A and B are shown apart, each in its own frame.
Chain A
Amino acid sequence: MAIVERRRIYEGSRIPSPIPTVLSTPAELEGSEDVMRINFGPNHPSMHGVLRLIIDLDGERVVGTEAVIGYLHTGFEKTMENKSWWKAITYPERIDYVGFQNDELVFVLAIEKLLGLEIPPKAVWMRMLLCELNRIHSHLVFLGTGALELGAISMFWYCFRERDLVLDLFELVTGVRMHTRYFQAGGLAEDIPSGFFAEARKFCDWMPKAVDDYEALIGRQEIWLERTQGIGLLSAEDAIALGQSGPVLRASGVDWDLRRAQPYLAYDEVEFGVPVYTNGDVYDRYRVRIDEMRESVRIVEQCIDRLEGMQGEPWIADDRKVVLPPRHELHTSMESLIHHFKIVTEGYRVPEGEVYVAIESPRGEKGCYVVSDGGARPWRVKFRAPSFVALEATATCMHEALVADLIAIVGSLDSVMGDTDR
């Protein structure tokens, strides 16, 4: 069963009514001179970009909350409708700019599902490897900035040191540190460069020690515990009703991970644990992510083991209607030249249909709904953004919170505003 332990975090439901995402000021405080309405953000260093909260304070106590989003709305979905399929792959990474590799994956998987394209094993394992590196990257950003917001400044430097190592690996493989555009429909854009595995192994040896360091720094630190334990409670039932996913859901005692429940890529062939905690507070959300970093390192190691035996194998499917022909063939083969020209100018066509693909991104269920009319451009692209959904839980988590807890709560939900606003 999904819920590991029916632990009563609190009685009943705390989801506000009638509006589930707005904590309204109690009637007896309405109009009272003690209540001060504060505008938090969108330009505030602890608002993760451009989140805006309108909060009602009664002294230090938060009595009303409403989240206002949309300050980073860029119309990605509309833009993608006007790009050919393979040009549209560039966009998802910019949506969730911290979990970029996972976003790229979900869109590419959706195209492949419509095309019915089989991808070679080397591409499957490399995708998995990069997605797990990206998960580590995302959790490092969470931990670094989340701790920074609570005053643990040194954590930020340590986390961003390791984050740089991850980005170095991305640069080595794709030439770009973020927004790599490395996944193509059919496989990978290029072969894995020599020397990558040695560097990746070095990282895998180092990373668990770094996680030990983080835990030594704050895991048992009194101030950190005071500020995170028992704060921002969310019960399993409320988390499910509010559509929470990923680490937020697992910290509330729900044993749910799409990598295991509905395996994609080759997640059914690797061994990894799914950390679950049951207190549903900020501290447990932090614990889940710390543990997930260790598990991701394990997955990366298993991917390297597999990939090292695949050298010389193809990294992209051999389907000339979808995949660019090898560069050298353009000088010798008329067919290849035509295919190259058609794919680059018009783009490939994707058969008519609609699919919904979901993966476990660092922030939870990242879904991609795609409709094709059989043309060279998507008819409709919609992303199920886990950050968007996570912010719906702010009002519920803010129950009896103090203004200082607010920062910890918003940080623990780990929203990326690009993902929220799309």
Chain B
Amino acid sequence: MTFEGVPGLVETREEHGETTLVVDPARLREACLHLRDREGFNFLSDITPTDYLGWGKRGVAGYYGTEQGRDLNATAGLGVSVASQGYGRLPRPKLKRFSVNYHLLGLRDGAPRVRVQVWIDDGETLESVIPVWPTADWHEREAWDMMGIRFEGHPNLRRILMEDDWEGHPLRKDYPIGGEPVRFSEER
């Protein structure tokens, strides 16, 4: 299947047998409508935002490497000492901080799937796709709650899993784990 007619298509990737369409965020809803009406992707499985803050910079076990692969003599310009433990190779850099992935499925023979991916920075907004697939309602609320991504035109964009007065967006990479163990400990 080719996706050349998708509005705002930036790039098509094939990895692990999955198709990813990177789409211009400004034309997201247009692209989704096209995929639903012309390509038959009538089912929205999931909306998944991912935060890439600090991508490729964390120190895990092993040797630190470069993009070409493992290099024992790599300098500490990466922010982590050479002797620290890192990747076998550096992951490829990402376009912006957040990716939002729309996992689409066509309910027909062959069960075709496609992932629509848009890239945005903190503070940028996306169009809501509720007019395309009503199921997007809660998925978008969850994306707002967990990652702080705003959807323009969502009629009810409130927190869904956390409490209404919660501060911060827990699945962001800069949200600490184990920060304050007891929420009201400062209030005597």
- Judge: A and B partners, yes or no: yes
List chain A positions with a Cβ less than 8 A from chain B. 1-2, 15, 18-22, 69-70, 73, 75, 77-79, 82, 113-114, 240-243, 254, 256, 258, 261-262, 345-347, 349, 352-356, 358, 365, 367, 369, 371, 373-377, 379-380, 382, 384, 388-389, 391-392, 421-422
CB of B144 within 8 A of chain A?
no
Q: Please, which residues of chain B bring their CB within 8 A of the CB of A365?
A: 45, 105
Q: Is the CB of A379 within 8 A of B134?
A: no
Task: Please tell me if the beta carbons of A70 and B92 are within 8 angstroms of each other in the complex.
Answer: no
Q: Does B151 contact A (CB under 8 A)?
A: no
8 A Cβ contacts from B106-144 to A: 107-111, 113, 115, 130, 133-135, 137-138, 142
**Is the CB–CB distance between A19 and B137 below 8 Å?**
yes
Q: Which residues of the other chain, A, contact B12 by a CB distance below 8 angstroms?
A: none
Pair B161/A421 contact, Cβ less than 8 Å: yes
Taking the closest CB of chain B, its distance from the CB of A356, in whole angstroms, is 5
Q: Which stretch from B1-9, B21-29, B55-63, B180-188 is at the chain A interface?
A: B55-63
Contacts of A114 in B (CB 8 A): 16
Q: Is the CB of B45 within 8 A of A243?
A: yes
- State A379–B60 Cα separation when bound (angstroms): 12
* Bound-complex Cα distance A329 to B132 (A): 57
Chain A residues within an 8 Å CB radius of B162: 70, 73
Interface residues on B, range: 35 or more
Instruction: Please report which residues of chain B, range 132-186, place their CB below 8 angstroms from some CB of chain A when the two chains form the complex.
Output: 133-135, 137-138, 142, 146, 155-156, 159-163, 170-171, 175, 177
User: CA–CA, A70 to B162, complex, Å?
Assistant: 6
Min Cβ gap B54→A in Å is 10
**In the assembled complex, which residues on chain A have CB atoms less than 8 Å from the CB atom of B170?**
75, 78
Q: Is the interface of B mostly helix, strand, loop or mixed?
A: loop
Residue of A nearest to B166 (CB): A70
A389 to B45, CA, bound (A): 9
Please measure, in the bound complex, the distance between the C-alpha atom of A19 and the C-alpha atom of B55, giving whole angstroms.
36
A374 with B177: CB separation less than 8 A: no
Contact B45 A375 (CB under 8 A): no
Question: Is the Cβ of A369 less than 8 Å from the Cβ of B101?
Answer: yes
Residues on A with C-beta less than 8 A from B110 are: 261
Tell me whether A369 and B103 are in contact in the complex, defined as CB-CB below 8 angstroms, given that A352-B92, A354-B15, A375-B60 are known contacts. Answer: yes
Provide the B88-105 mask, 1 if CB < 8 A to any CB of A, else 0: 111110000000010101
Residue contacts A-B, CB under 8 angstroms, 11 given: A18-B155, A70-B161, A254-B107, A349-B62, A349-B87, A356-B46, A373-B91, A376-B60, A384-B45, A388-B138, A391-B138
Docked pose: A18 CA to B51 CA in angstroms: 29
Is there a chain A Cβ closer than 8 Å to B33's Cβ?
A: no
Contact B161 A73 (CB under 8 A): yes
Identify A355's interface contact among B18, B61, B175, B177, CB under 8 A. B18
Cross-chain contact of A346 among B43, B55, B61, B115 (Cβ < 8 A):
B61
Given the known interface contacts A113-B16, A349-B62, A379-B55, the answer about A241 and B135 at a Cβ–Cβ threshold of 8 Å is yes
Question: Taking the nearest CB of chain B, how far is it from the CB of A18, in angstroms?
Answer: 4
Determine whether the beta carbon of B58 is less than 8 Å from that of A375: yes
Q: Which residue of A lies closest to B86 (CB)?
A: A375
With A369-B48, A375-B58, A384-B45 already in contact, the answer to whether A243 and B155 are too (CB < 8 A) is no
Report whether B44 and A243 are in contact in the complex, using a CB–CB cutoff of 8 Å.
yes
* Contact A384 B62, beta carbon cutoff 8 Å: no
Interface membership of chain B positions 32-67, coded 1 if the CB is closer than 8 angstroms to chain A and 0 otherwise: 000000000011111010111001101011100000
Note all chain B residues with C-beta closer than 8 A to A346: 60-62, 85
Other-chain residue from A18, A21, A262, A356 in contact with B103 (beta carbon distance below 8 A)? A356
> Which of A114, A375, A377, A384 is most buried by chain B, counting CB atoms within 10 A of its CB?
A375
- Which A residues are CB-close (under 8 A) to B134? 15, 20, 241-242, 392
B137 touches A21 (CB 8 A): yes
- Considering the chains assembled together, what is the distance between the CA atoms of A316 and B122 in angstroms? 43
A236 to B45, CA, bound (A): 16
Instruction: Tell me, in angstroms, the Cα distance from A355 to B48 when the chains sit together.
Output: 12
